[in-house]
Amino acid sequence: MAFLHHNSTTISMELPWSFSPSPPASFNLFLPIKTPRILFVKKDNKSQRLCHCTSVSSSGQQLQELVVDDGGGDSGGWGGKYDDGEGQFGNLVKEYGWQVRRMVEEDDEMRSVANIQAEAFYEPVVLFNDVFFQFFQAEVLSGLLYRLRNSPPDRYACLVAEMTTSDSQEKQLVGVVDATVFRDAYVLEHLSGADEYLYVSGIAVLRNFRRKKVASVLLKSCEMLARFWGYKYLVLRAYEDDLGARMLYTNAGYKIVSSDPVWTTSWIGRRRRVLMIKQCNLK
């Protein structure tokens, strides 16, 4: 479980991975990360869309929840070629002094993303807290690398927020969110006419930049990405007793459609979650 702060409230969001206090196997947080560039093409009936991404070597961590298939055949998978260009579409959103774009898959930026999520989601321990935080940060980065390698670039994106400025110098990342194409049968029961949807998870904001609309801009960028990829619905989960998070998502246009069954929560001590959806206007 993780906590984020928005305005005067605390936002909790369940991470798509679990943490155990041991470093990932065969992974070194301090080694350089090398990533070849990939150009991918997203096709539909009316247009052909071009974007870029990269692939990276796997850390070996099994994060099954965020592994997605490419759809195959005529269902809109992906294909591409290596390319040395920048390979990123432009800013998805510019509001409240923040802009959101796709993460550039370079060493420093991926480590910054891992640091933001680790800071937001880490739960302190009494002994050796600094050591366990470094392990957790390494695991977050390991999970990011695994998702990038195992998810086609038109079905998973890590979006980052930074300050809108005319300064050409390097900008600091202040927030991050993961957007993944899913096709879970239980969720699809609530999505009329859809066979896939965009799942929003891992939203995190640096402590010094919370309560400044960064989370709201990140949520809006997910909606823009869903439109760009042609998905009608966005889906996320929040804890039922977390009124701050539910208010944030409600203000962004999400509605509660279901909640976890009682026998999967109360009896085993898990907090009950609600399923929230938002429908996009694709026109």
Tell me which residues are annotated as active site: 249
Location of structure tokens 């927030």 = 175
Read off the tokens for 140: 């977050």
- Tell me how crowded residue 61 is: count the other CB atoms within 10 A of its CB: 18
Query: How many CA within 13 A on the CB side of residue 193?
Result: 5
Cα–Cα nearest to 52, from 63, 62, 42: 42
With residue 49 as reference, give the H or E element that holds it. strand 48-54
Cα(34)–Cα(260) distance, integer angstroms? 41
* CB contact at 8 A, 176 and 203: yes
**Distant-in-sequence, close-in-space partners of 173: CB < 8 Å, separation ≥ 6:** 109, 112, 113, 116, 160, 161, 162, 206
In terms of Cβ atoms closer than 10 Å to its own Cβ (0-12, 13-18, 19+), residue 120 is buried
Q: If you ran DSSP here, which 8-state letter would residue 267 be given?
A: G
- Tell me how crowded residue 170 is: count the other CB atoms within 10 A of its CB: 9
